[in-house]
Structure 1
Amino acid sequence: MVAAGWVVFGPGPARAHPHVFVDGGVDFQITEDGTLEAIRVTWRYDELETLFLLSDLDVTPAAGADFTDSERALVERELGRFAPDFDGSVHLRAKGEPILLAWPRDLTARMVGDRLEVAFYRDLMEPLALEATELHAAFYERTYFFAFSLTDEPRFGEAEDRCSATITKFEPSSQTDEMRAALAKLGREETPENSNVGALLADRMVVTCK
């Protein structure tokens, strides 16, 4: 069984840490009155990880083509089985407090060129009124096994004309260069001493609504 985003912990040749590169983004399901109810997360796996994932499922779409209906059903079913230690990749905070999210739902999959793209929803455990409140979103996996990059402009549901976002890309420094050099020495089965190192290397976003 393949677990979305975590199949790469299986046997295979070693690669430098991080092992998987994903770009994508976050869309915000905001009601007309400015209440955030859910987020939609998009991942596009790097070409090598796409090959690993699809090979494990015995799926081989034609070059440059999307999945057939049967392939899509299989990929969505298997990748929709998230591993118990899934930590989300999107971490939200407001007023200094973490925002609790429900388990992922409604995963969809497609091919974008030679890369696998998946998207899924996560409901807020408690809807959040965003008026006069900054929402902070960080895009990372805590052990930095996955390197996530925010590349997509966010959407804001029914509040498209009232909300905006500022994206801050991770900027390397001498300190983080040393950290990444140490991470690069880790094998596939090794984890960093800092169990939340991904947070230090994250792309971030601040959402504000009028």
Structure 2
Amino acid sequence: MKHALCALVLGLVAAPLGAHPHIFVDTALRFEVNAAREVTGVTVTWTYDDFFTLLILEDYGLDPDGDSTLTKAELDTLFGFDLIEWPPGFEGDLYVYSYGEKIEMPRPKPTGIAVENGLITATHYREIPAVPVEAVEILQYDPTYYVAYDVSQGVTVTDPDCTAKITEPDQAAAQEAVDQELNGGSMEDIFDEMRVGIHFSDSITISCAPPSN
């Protein structure tokens, strides 16, 4: 992402001091469930906030007239921009657990890009090694809390007999966790160890009605 990516990486280093997000992403998640009632993949849609959208468009030299209308060639240039350069250890800010064990997933593949109402919306697909629906918990968060994710665009499931439940974080408890991290720690400890994003994450589970005979 050129300069915008540099700003993001620098922000990831500085984020623990204030533990406040600087990039805001509205999210939609669509989970694939097979006939055996196993989760096998997820389509992730990220809509970036207006300021980060502006940074990216300027960084790529797109939309010079500022009308938020991109040509097909410009959209092709932007396609997959947020999947190109990932910092070491970055897991895509999406974590899938089965029976409490974290599931390793391959890197995502870009599937869509759009700029609507002045905001970039990027879509990608991630395969999930088949895990039983009833054992799955999904969290989406940035460990450093530099990026704040909000599942405001909803969570859907390909099987019409299955539904997703979103449990929102306890904001007071999350802030208390931040305060505890900050209390008594040295500046070096804060930079090296503070990872509070998980406390601000929505928790998503999936349930399915019994198959009809």
Q: Does 1:153 align with 2:157?
A: no
Equivalenced residue count is 197
* Offset at residue 9 of structure 1 (A): 2.5
Rg: which structure is higher? 2
Query: Percent identity of the aligned residues?
Result: 22
- 1:203 alignment counterpart: 202
Equivalent in the alignment of 1:186: none
Asked if 1 retains the 8 angstrom alpha-carbon contact of 2:177 and 2:199, the reply is: no
Q: Is 1:99 matched up with 2:103?
A: yes
Instruction: Give the aligned partner of residue 188 of structure 1.
Output: none
Amino acid corresponding to residue 71 of structure 2 in structure 1: T
Q: Does 1:129 align with 2:128?
A: no
- The one-letter code of the counterpart of 1:103 is R
- When residues 174 and 31 of structure 1 are mapped into structure 2, their CA distance, relative to the original with a 3 A threshold, is closer
Q: Structure 2: how far apart are the matches of 1:195 and 1:60?
A: 38
Identify the residue that residue 163 of structure 1 maps to in structure 2. 162
The Cα of 1:175 is off from its aligned counterpart by 6.0
**TM-score normalised according to structure 2 size:** 0.78
Which amino acid letter does the alignment assign opposite residue 151 of structure 1? Answer: S
Assess if the C-alpha contact under 8 Å between 2:108 and 2:125 holds in 1.
yes
Structure 1: state its 5+ residue gaps.
184-190
1:76-87 correspondence to structure 2 within 5 Å: 76-85=79-88, 86-87=90-91
Q: 1:11 to 1:136 in 2, by over 3 A?
A: closer
- 1:178 Cα deviation (Å)? 7.3
Q: Distance in 1 between matches of 2:191 and 2:150?
A: 20
Give, in angstroms, the shift of residue 167 of structure 1. 0.8
Of 103, 120, 140, the residue aligned with 1:116 is 120
Q: Does residue 1:45 correspond to 2:45, yes or no?
A: no
Counterparts of 1:59 and 1:127 in 2: how far apart (Å)?
A: 40
1:75 Cα deviation after fit: 0.3
2:71 corresponds to which of 23, 48, 68: 68
Corresponding residue number in structure 1 for 2:186: none
Q: 1:175 to 1:199 in 2, by over 3 A?
A: closer
Task: Return the alpha-carbon distance in structure 1 between the equivalents of residues 6 and 174 of structure 2.
Answer: 31
CA displacement at 1:62 relative to structure 2: 6.2
Alignment equivalent of 2:21, drawn from 5, 18, 22: 18
C-alpha displacement of 1:45: 0.8
Aligned partner of residue 79 in structure 2, secondary structure: helix
Q: In 2, Cα distance between the equivalents of 1:182 and 1:195?
A: 7
Contact 1:67 1:111 in 2 (8 A): yes
The question of whether the paired residues in 1 share the 8 Å contact of 2:69 and 2:115 is answered with yes
Mapped to 2, the partners of 1:105 and 1:175 lie a distance apart of: 32
Q: Assess if the C-alpha contact under 8 Å between 2:96 and 2:139 holds in 1.
A: yes
- Per residue, is there more helix in 1 or in 2? 2
